[in-house]
Amino acid sequence: MTAARGDAAAGLTGGAVAPDPAAAGPLGANRLVRAFAALRAERRCALIPYIMAGDPDVSTTERLVETLVDSGASAVELGVPFSDPIADGPINQRAGLRAMAQGMGIRAALDLVARLRTRTQVPLLVMTYYNLILRYGPGKFARDAASAGLDGLIAADLPPDAAGDLTGEARRSGLATVFMAAPTSTPERIRAVAASSTGFVYCVSRTGVTGVQDALPEGLPELVRRIRAETPSPICVGFGISRPAQAREVAKVADGVIVGSALVQMIEDTPRDVARAGAFVRDLAAAIADA
């Protein structure tokens, strides 16, 4: 298997049914939705690297995104820093502080997306916290995000039963929403997450915050099966996947692999060594292709 590039993206595994762009209304043109629909036919797994927007600086983030895409990323997730990042571990928290020092925020992130959109059509997502969206205005955010070329939003601290205003505005603007299901989620919560997720369901591999880990949780395949039993939506697994071998194992059961903290740590260690980050993503893509 070959990891996908750009909006052609990678394929789905595990028999999941991706959203049908033709039936998606305003989401029909969404790059993320279309990518997962295309993935289904090829039955390949998506690779979604996460980096913090503005770390170490905005121009390097732009170079990183282009390099990650060239190295096999199916989509790219951009963190937008927040002062109380309850879902983030120490690595991402430090990256957030560096990004805030560079002036990164919601408006700056959308401007970054708009500039990237002139050079790539890869699906782009933002992961942030709802206070920033609420302060900006959910409707204005959805419209401005779609206008900039953003495809998806993850508000890490927003439960689906409190997200009605945001998901409605997002659907009308053609912006996909992604909510999280965790090992502690009940079937009812998983159904609520799936109903509100128009991009994919984010499967949090473990309890706790983001960060690297030496081994995957033993219960991860069962967690993915529990989620798949409740929804036909694509399932992407994140939190703690930091090595190619781990990505390969996740790709055997899920539709997408999200790798963040290991890449963010690499950027902290060698801030402007874009080629090193690209090599790491190529290794991840190769491992997923072998799954």
Return the active site residues: 77, 88
Under a CB-based contact definition with an 8 Å cutoff, are residues 37 and 199 in contact? no
DSSP string for 31-94: HHHHHHHHHHHHT--EEEEEEETTSS-HHHHHHHHHHHHHTT-SSEEEE---SS-TT--HHHHH
C-alpha R_g of the chain: 17
Q: Do 285 and 3 touch, CB atoms closer than 8 A?
A: yes
Helix, strand and coil percent figures for the chain, each rounded to 5: 50, 15, 35
